Structure 1
Amino acid sequence: MPGSSLWLLPPPAHPLHAALTALITSTLPARFPRESASSPSVSPHFFPPHVTLTSEVEPSRYSADPQAWLDRMVGRWLAGDGDSHVVKVRFGEIATQDVFFRRCFIRVGFERVRAWLGWPGMGGLWRCGWGAMFGEETERWLEWWRREYGPHVSLIYGDVPIADEVLHEVTRVVREAGIRLPKAGSDGIEEGNSWNGWDGGVVWLVPTDKPIAEWKPIATREL
Structure 2
Amino acid sequence: MPGLSLWLSPPPSHPLTSALTSLIASLSDELSSTAETNPHFLPHITITSNIPPTIDPEVIVAFAAALFSSSSSTTSTSLDVNLTSVDFGPAYFKKIFFRVERSAGLLYLASKVRHSFVPGYALIPGSAEIWTGNEYDPHLSLVYMADWPLSQETMNRAIDKANLSIATASISSWSGGRIALYETQGSADKWKCLAYRDL
* Bin for the TM-score computed over the shorter chain: 0.7 to 0.9
8 Å contact from structure 1 (residues 94, 167) kept in 2: no
In the alignment, structure 1 segments of 5+ residues that lack a partner are: 181-192
Pick aligned residue for 2:51 from 49, 53, 57: 57
Q: Give the number of equivalent residue pairs.
A: 192
Sequence identity, in percent? 28
Pick aligned residue for 1:87 from 68, 73, 79: 79
Find the counterpart in structure 1 of residue 130 from structure 2. Answer: 140
8 Å contact from structure 1 (residues 53, 119) kept in 2: no
Bigger helix share:
2
- TM-score normalised by the chain length of structure 1: 0.76
Pick aligned residue for 1:41 from 14, 20, 35: 35
8 Å contact from structure 2 (residues 7, 181) kept in 1: yes
The alpha-carbon distance between structure 1 residues 166 and 211, as it changes in their structure 2 partners (threshold 3 A), is closer
Find the counterpart in structure 1 of residue 192 from structure 2. Answer: 216
Q: How far does the alpha carbon of each residue in 1:74-121 deviate from its partner, in whole angstroms, 9 at most, with x for none?
A: 25423244422x21110111111110000010000012411111542x
How far apart in 1 are the matches of 2:50 and 2:102?
21
Pick aligned residue for 1:116 from 94, 104, 109: 109
The answer to whether structure 1 residue 7 and structure 2 residue 7 are counterparts is yes
How far apart in 2 are the matches of 1:80 and 1:4?
28
TM-fit CA distance, 1:18:
0.2
Corresponding residue SS for 2:102:
coil
8 Å contact from structure 1 (residues 93, 107) kept in 2: yes
Moved over 4 A (4+): none
Cα RMSD between the aligned structures?
A: 2.7
How far apart in 1 are the matches of 2:144 and 2:182?
17
How far apart in 1 are the matches of 2:65 and 2:13?
22
Find the counterpart in structure 2 of residue 183 from structure 1. Answer: none
- TM-score normalised by the chain length of structure 2: 0.84
Find the counterpart in structure 1 of residue 22 from structure 2. Answer: 22
